[in-house]
Structures are given as C-alpha cells and as structure tokens.
Structure 1
Amino acid sequence: MDTLSGVLKSVRLEGAVFLDAEFTAPWSMRGKYGMTSVKQQLAGAEHVVLFHFLTQGACRVRLAEGGDVIEVVAGDLILFPQDDRHLMGSDLHLAPLEADSLIDAATAVAADPEFVRIRHGGGGAATRFVCGYLACSRSLCRPLLEALPRVLRIPIGDGQASTLLRELLRVGVRESSASRPGAQSTLAKLAELMFVEALRRYVETLPPEVHGWLAALRDVQIGRALALLHEAPERGWTVDDLAREVALSRSLLATRFASLVGESPMQYLMRWRLALAARALRSGGDAISRVAERSGYETEAAFSRAFKREFGLPPSAWRKAPA
C-alpha cells in the first residue's frame, strides 16, 4: 500500500457533500465550513478540510485576509486544508454575502437539511459548484496538513478516473436533490475519492526541488520507509532495520529522510505513534498504560511526558477534553 493511501486509511476520513450552489454574475461570497447545519453534523470533529468543486462557469478565489487571487474554472477543485475563511465570486471587489446566512436560510426550507441547494446572484453568467468537507483527526493528519498550502487549486477535469468521479458526483448531486435513498452515503464516499485523487495530482505536479512530506512520497526509498512506519508503527524499528528494508545505507537513509521530511526517521515514528495514541485515547477505553505500551514506551510516566510535549496536555486530560 502506498504511503498516502496508508495515512488516509489511518485517519478515518469522514466525507460529505452538502451543497449544490449556482451563482450568477455579479456575485461575491465569504465562506468557511462552520455553517450551523454542518457544525451539527461535525460536533466531534477535530479538523475539517472544506472543498468546492466547480461544475460550470468560472470564478475567482482568495483568502479573506488577502493574498493571491486564484482563477478557477469548471473541473477545478479548491481545497482549504486549514479551514480558512475565504472569498469567492465573479468580482471580489463587491461586498461579499456571508455563506453562513445563505446556507442556513436554504437549510431551513430544504426537504433534506443535510443537502441544500442555493440559487443567487445578479442574473448574468452562471457559476455552479458543489461544496463538501472531510473531517479528520488533526494529530493523524499533521504530516499531510503541514505539507499543503492554505488554499489549493487542483484541476481534476482530465483523465479516466477524474471523468468517472465527475460523472458520479453529478449523479450523486441529482439523487440528493431528489432525496433518493442512499444518496448521502454515495456522496460521502465520493468526497473521499475526490480528495485522494486531488492529492495524487498535486504530488505529481510538485517541482523536483521541493522538500516536505508529500515530496518524500515520490522518492522510491524514502516513500517506502514512510509506508513501512505507517503500516507497522508498533514494530521495534531502528534506523538499521529501516535501511535494510529499503536497500539504503544507514547514513544515506538518515540524511535523505531528514532532508525531505524535516526530521529523523525515529523522530517521525515517535510522533506518529503519539498521534495514534491521541486517537486511541479519544475513541477507546483502553487504560493509559496499555496505550503507552502500544506506543513503544516502557513506562506510563515516560509516555505521559512525551505526550504532553507533543500535545500540551497529559494523556488523562487529553482524553477528557473536547475535540
């Protein structure tokens, strides 16, 4: 299994598509995931990645606080990995409408409050898009989230896999609009598939000189090393063991791993084990001593010290704290 698939399988993404929107020029909207209806569905989520997929027309996008304006056309997927407030519109100089108010108003009269339709604008050229989200554990997604820009445009309009996703998405939106049984489950899976496809395309377009976790996936040996650590974090790994598995010398593995990923293999493994421990503490009832043992610590005290350094709270307080 490739590293990206391994991480995404581990984080247990919860995806959904919740909005079918059509805006006609001129228009401008300010949004974030946190609409009332979506908050209710994500009460326990630690982190949310919001996305918009344009199915028709074009618009402009930028972060609400400023920055570069991104031109978006039909077939483009826009991701906000850090859930930043952002602007979208035909003219970003217009005073923006708040997406929260539009969506909450539409939800109040929708036949299915988990999937709503919006029609708004000045009557000019139409832009249509669907919006969705992926909820995940922030601790488990840390390597991925830190490797992505705050706003990311990914064209997924070409290729057989992308064409299939687009067609399935359109079918899912039609079924949801008609309140057909099973449509929400279909859209949830499509949101996850679209996210994976988008990330694969992004990795393929990274310049050769770029470093970071996603860039490391393209390196045959370092990508394999990451995959091994994710597949068997409970194993008593050493740098020598890992080097033998990926057919590199110990020194070369250590140097290339640190250069690409930004930390040593053993530091990465420690943080991944602690991330898994953080999820286990929130989702399960195992004793802290048992979680510590699975995380590779000989004593609960040593585990607690390491956990607090990583997350700012001791394990017992983390377990009780809200997401």
Structure 2
Amino acid sequence: MPASHCVPPAHPSPDPLTQALQCFRLQGTLYCQSELSAPWGIEVPRMDGVMVFLVVTQGHCWLEVEGHPPQALQQGSLTLIPHGSPHRFLSALGTSTVPLDALPIQQVTELFETVRYGGGGAVVKAMYGVVRFDHLLAKRLVSQLPAVLQMDAAETEQDLWLHSTLRYIAQEAAVPKPGSETVVTRLADILVVQAIRAWLASAPLREKGWLAALSDERVGRAMALMHQSPQTLWTVDRLAKAVGMSRSAFSTRFSALTGQGPLAYLTEWRMQLARAWLSTSGQPIAHMSGELGYQSEAAFSRAFKQHYGMAPGSFRRHEAQQPGQAARACVPVA
C-alpha cells in the first residue's frame, strides 16, 4: 500500500476527526535549535507544502506573517504556521532582517541543526521545525487550519500537557544526552498533533465545509467509510443505510454540508489517492485500479483522464521527470 494512503487501525475510531488525526504521521521533519542575541531579525520565504512550528524555550520575540498583525511570542509558547506562509521573526518590531540563507548554520545530523546569531544582547532560545504530511487526510485537515495557530503554556489543568512538554524539550535541548535528539523530535511531533487537537476543540462551529461535514455525526461517518475503504463499491443507498438515514435525506444533507454529492466526493477522494500513488509508488496501474474501486484499468484510466486531463501512465511519467525538491528546509530562528 502506498505511503500516501493512511491504513486505518484494526478497530478504527468512529470519530472521523480522530481518524484524520490517526493519519498524522510527520514526514521530512527537520529541526533546528537556535540561540539568538538581540538585535536580530530573520526573513523566511514561502515554503509550499510544509508546516512550520516554533517553540520558544527562553526569552521572547515577535512573529510577522504576511497579511496578519504582529504577534508576540512568549517563553513557553508554541506557534504553528500551517501553510508555509512567508514570515519574519524579530527580536523587536522594526528590527532589520537578514534572509534565511544568510544564517550561520551548523548541521549536527541529517535531521537536526543548530544556529547562533545576533548582536550580543538579550538571548532568545527556541526550537524550530519544518514538517511535511504525506497522508491525504492529514493534508486536508491542515488545509482547514488558520494561517497562524498560537498556544501559550498556562498553569491550568487543561494546558498542563503543553507546559510540561515544552519544559521537557527545553531541558533536553539545554543539556544534550545520548538520545536527546530522538526525544526532542518525538516530543515535537506530539506537540504539533496536540496543538491541532486543541484548536479543533476550541474552533467555532462551521455551518458548511469539509470540517463541518466531518464533524457531522452521520455525514462524517459516511466520509470516514469512504476514506477507510475507497475500494468498496459504494452507492448512495449503501452509504445512507450504513449511517442510518434515508437515501434522499442523506444525499441532501451531504450536499448541503460539502457542496457536492456523496459519489462526487468519493470520486474526488479516489482521484486524490490515485494522484498521490502515481507520484510516489511504482505499483501497476491495474492493481491501483482495484484498490480504488474500479472494476477495470480502462474504467480507472477514463476517470483519471476526465479528472486531470491526462492518462495515469502519462501523469506518472510527467511526475518522474520533475526535478526533486531541495531536501533542506530548516529555518533556524529565535
């Protein structure tokens, strides 16, 4: 099974949002431990397809994301920039900046780097990470997040996980021991998922859209079934029966929430899977057709060409000819 398809556990959660979070496996993760002394400012370009996160372990600084007001980042804070938007980190508002690629970076391992930079004043320490998501459900969920997601450690029972995890990361980073890199990176992975969970719990309810549909008791269950088993020969009747609704009521509610019919959503999901599999795996197209619920390679090829404008084989060859992404994505900051 290609990596882009999240394989559900033996007993998948009935909660579709939990199912989506179960597919959050961070890929291409790169971490940078930074120590900066005022004055300093760093300008980070757009990084498509990645999520950036920043954990401030000492001091405070400022974040400016294109199109949004400046935000103060305090010690013990966790900030996500889910869409790789251009941004700047500053010791103080108005400080001049240098480009990302001008920083003196020391590569410790393939996945871990350090940087020391600045004018010799007050010190800010932080861990910065850049992560990618290979699974389609994770990518879809990330696309629903705001441009900036910030959490501050607080001495409340609800936020104890954030405070204790940030404190542990700071301890490990301050006095490295055997295995510290592994500990820090795993904790950072958990922080990202926990931050998204906390945002989902506090986000205002939406009347329409993918998150609203996924949160709906019955429509969400139908979506989860399609996500889990794209190879099943789903019909509107079969989906409606599976979630305990009449065909007409189910179809009407699904369309009202998502803006498309159940089978149109299923086709789109299958095509997204197909695109990801063709880009990352070498499995035969005939086998892929069956995994996506098509009874023949010809039927799958027709559907793919109608959706993307080229046959699956042509798309695979086109993707193989594309230059590889630069492996280095770390942005060492505050």
CA distance in 2, matches of 1:125, 1:21: 14
Deviation per residue, 1:114-151 (Å, 9 max, x gap): 32222333444443321112222385544224312333
Q: 2:165 is matched by which residue type in structure 1?
A: L
TM-score (ref. length: structure 1):
0.79
Number of the residue aligned with 1:316: 313
Number of the residue aligned with 1:7: 20
Cα distance change on mapping 1:220 and 1:28 into 2, 3 Å: same
1:29 aligns with 2:42: yes
CA distance in 2, matches of 1:113, 1:143: 28
Number of the residue aligned with 1:249: 246
Deviation per residue, 1:177-215 (Å, 9 max, x gap): 45x24x444344333322211111111122124533234
**Which of the residues 271, 275, 278 maps onto 2:275?**
278
**Which of the residues 213, 216, 219 maps onto 2:213?**
216
Give the 3-state SS of the residue equivalent to 1:235 in structure 2. Answer: coil
Number of the residue aligned with 1:70: 71
CA distance in 1, matches of 2:37, 2:49: 31
Number of the residue aligned with 1:38: none
1:91 aligns with 2:92: yes
Cα distance change on mapping 1:313 and 1:90 into 2, 3 Å: farther
Q: 2:148 is matched by which residue type in structure 1?
A: V
Indicate the percent of aligned positions where both proteins have the same amino acid.
33
Given that 1:258 and 1:265 are in contact with CA atoms closer than 8 Å, whether structure 2 keeps it comes out as yes
1:313 shift after superposition: 4.6
**Which of the residues 23, 29, 43 maps onto 1:16?**
29
CA distance in 2, matches of 1:55, 1:92: 20
Matches within 5 A, 1:178-257: 178=177, 180-181=178-179, 183-209=180-206, 211-257=208-254
Give the 3-state SS of the residue equivalent to 1:248 in structure 2. Answer: coil
Task: Identify the structure with the greater helix proportion.
Answer: 1
1:289 aligns with 2:290: no
Number of the residue aligned with 2:327: none
CA distance in 2, matches of 1:256, 1:95: 52
CA distance in 2, matches of 1:270, 1:166: 42
1:30 shift after superposition: 1.0
Given that 1:17 and 1:191 are in contact with CA atoms closer than 8 Å, whether structure 2 keeps it comes out as no
Deviation per residue, 1:291-317 (Å, 9 max, x gap): 112212233333234334545553223
CA distance in 1, matches of 2:91, 2:60: 8
Deviation per residue, 1:5-47 (Å, 9 max, x gap): 433444643263511123333332112586xxxxxxxxxxx93
Give the 3-state SS of the residue equivalent to 2:124 in structure 1. Answer: strand
Given that 1:16 and 1:191 are in contact with CA atoms closer than 8 Å, whether structure 2 keeps it comes out as no
CA distance in 2, matches of 1:63, 1:234: 41
CA distance in 2, matches of 1:87, 1:67: 11
Give the 3-state SS of the residue equivalent to 2:105 in structure 1. Answer: helix
Given that 1:33 and 1:50 are in contact with CA atoms closer than 8 Å, whether structure 2 keeps it comes out as no
Q: 2:80 is matched by which residue type in structure 1?
A: L
Cα distance change on mapping 1:164 and 1:228 into 2, 3 Å: farther
Deviation per residue, 1:212-266 (Å, 9 max, x gap): 3234343333332332222222222222322233333333333333333343332
Q: Which runs of 5+ in 1 are unaligned?
A: 35-45
1:80 aligns with 2:81: yes
Q: How many residues align?
A: 304
Number of the residue aligned with 1:135: 132
Number of the residue aligned with 1:41: none
Given that 2:37 and 2:124 are in contact with CA atoms closer than 8 Å, whether structure 1 keeps it comes out as yes
TM-score (ref. length: structure 2):
0.76
Range 194-203 or range 24-33, more displaced: 24-33
CA distance in 2, matches of 1:16, 1:131: 11
CA distance in 1, matches of 2:315, 2:165: 38
Give the 3-state SS of the residue equivalent to 1:224 in structure 2. Answer: helix
Give the 3-state SS of the residue equivalent to 2:85 in structure 1. Answer: coil
